[in-house]
Chains A and B, each alone.
Chain A
Amino acid sequence: KQEVTQIPAALSVPEGENLVLNCSFTDSAIYNLQWFRQDPGKGLTSLLLIQSSQREQTSGRLNASLDKSSGRSTLYIAASQPGDSATYLCAVFFDGQNFVFGPGTRLSVLP
C-alpha cells in the first residue's frame, strides 16, 4: 500500500528559528512530490514541486529535498516568521497515477 507519513505532527517554534519538516513515503516509484501549505479553513497553496529526477528545489526561504531511494523528503524553512504558521502537507504522486497526501505538520511560529 502506498502511504505518506509526516513528522512531527505539530511543531511550535519561536520566530527566527530554522526548522525542518519531514515526509516519508513507502514506494520509491514516484513521479513527483509536492509540498503544500494550508491555512485554517482554506484551500491548498503549492510551495514546491520536486520531480523524481531532482534532488531539491528552492523558493525563497524554503528548500525541499528528495531522496527517492530512502523514501524521504524534507522541507527546510529558514528564518521562520509568524506568517509561516499553517499546516504543511506533503503529497506524493506515485507511479500508477495515485496521488497520496500525508497527514500534515501543524506549524506555529511564535512572535
Chain B
Amino acid sequence: GAVVSQHPSWVICKSGTSVKIECRSLDFQATTMFWYRQFPKQSLMLMATSNEGSKATYEQGVEKDKFLINHASLTLSTLTVTSAHPEDSSFYICSARSPGGYEQYFGPGTRLTVT
C-alpha cells in the first residue's frame, strides 16, 4: 500500500513552453501533498505544500506564478512549470501524506530538461 505515482517520469521541453507534472496517490487519499525540487548532487528542497481544495503554500523564494499547483482531488496534485527556462531543469519529486498520518510517501520523480 501507500503508493504514489508521477507522470511523466521524464520530459524535455523547449524554453518558453509550459509543462504539467501529475502526482497521484494510488491506494489512499492524500489531503496534503508536497512538491520538492532536487538539483544535481544536492538534496531535496521543499517547493510548496498542496492541500486539497485550497491554495498551495509556497516556500520562500519559489515563484507561485511560475510553479502552479492544483490539488483538485484527494488523489491528484499537479505542478505546472510555466514559461520554462533552462534553469528550471531539475528533478521534481512529489510526496503525499495520508490523513492523520505523519509519514510521507514519495513518488518516483520527474526529470525535466528545458532546452
Contacts and interface: CB of A to CB of B under 8 A. Distances in A.
Interface of A is mostly: strand
Size range of the interface on B? 20 to 34
B12 to A, nearest CB: 15
B44 interface: yes
25 contacts: A32-B103, A34-B104, A36-B106, A41-B111, A42-B109, A43-B108, A44-B106, A44-B109, A46-B105, A46-B106, A89-B44, A97-B49, A98-B46, A99-B46, A99-B95, A99-B104, A100-B46, A101-B36, A101-B43, A101-B44, A101-B45, A102-B43, A103-B42, A103-B43, A104-B43
Contact of B102 (A31, A42, A101, A102): A31
A44 B42 contact: no
A49 B97 CA distance: 14
Nearest to A44: B106
Nearest to B111: A41
A32 B103 CA distance: 8
Contacts of B91: 41
B63 to A, nearest CB: 20
A46 to B, nearest CB: 7
A31 B45 CA distance: 19
B60 to A, nearest CB: 11
Contacts of A89: 43-44
B113 to A, nearest CB: 12
